[in-house]
Amino acid sequence: MQMNESVVKSHAKINLALRITGRYPDGYHSLSSLFLEIELHDRLRFTPSDTYSLIVDGRDLTGDHSNTIYRAYDIIKKNFGMKQEWEIEVEKIIPPGAGLGGGSSNGAAVLRFLNEALGLGLRHDQLEKIALEIGCDVPFFIQGGLQFVEGRGEKLTTVNIDFPYSILLVYPGIHISTGWAYSQFSLTNRKEGYKLESLFSNGDIHWELFENQFEDIVFQTHPEVGKIKEDLVKAGAIYAGLSGSGSTVFGIYDSIPSARMAERVFTNYQTFVTLPTTRKTIKV
């Protein structure tokens, strides 16, 4: 590592539960979802430079102004000024278009880094407001952990419970557009938002109440993804579900060994065994 280089972890997430509760006049949908940040992460390396540049897995994306990294960088530069610029190198581990929030997490990682490096002193709520300009999932990643997410993604409630589980991710390599998934959803199927007290009570997690409303849409179009969920349950998952609009499917297990055992079923797919970031037990 060169002098003054900084390496920031950019974690993935899964949606433990997801309901679509309505649609705004501008076309965006409102959600009620439980986001869990997990140890699977990309790495962003920031090196002081005379000009901004972006290298992702060896590819020069400096001229790409559509990605979340540039947009986060540009918002901070335009609103607060920037005497020092950075070259950003990204090592991607989180599969793109997989429902794991990799792009959103990258944008939030840039906001957090620049806030500290430039000494801006922005509070979490201020960073979350800026993050919403980049994308609906970006605000969650400012603080991460386990959060109840509502509305467009701007209503965030930290959930303080013990989550002593391990997670097996199965990614079938199918890129599913979130926009497409929303376009296939009929508002006649919208539901009321979750009540936290119904999902968690007396220290218990009521898994039978968890669901992801994108599953009906995605599983009908891609039966292979639905089969992965079935196989995770057969392999002993306490709960299994689609993350976001997919195509990653996750299984919740009571230990790393049990998740590793289940992983053997999915040799034809890309898999990850990981933990919640709130459980600092292992580094993945």
Cα 170 to Cα 143: distance, rounded to the nearest angstrom? 25
Nearest partner of 274 among 266, 265, 264, 284, judged by Cα: 284
For every residue of 164-186, DSSP letters joined together read --EEEEEE-S----HHHHHHT--
Rg over CA atoms, the chain: 19
Q: What is the DSSP letter of 141?
A: H
Q: What is the DSSP letter of 260?
A: H
Q: Is 192 helix (H, G, I), strand (E, B) or coil?
A: coil
Evaluate the omega torsion of the peptide bond into residue 243 and state whether it is cis, within 30 degrees of 0.
Answer: no
Q: Which two tokens stand for residue 161?
A: 């419970």
- For the chain, report the end-to-end CA distance as a whole number of angstroms: 20
* Residues contacting 216, CB < 8 A, separation 6+: none
* Residues contacting 3, CB < 8 A, separation 6+: none
Residues assigned a catalytic role: 13, 137
* Residues contacting 34, CB < 8 A, separation 6+: 15, 16, 17, 18, 146, 147, 148, 149, 159, 194, 199, 210
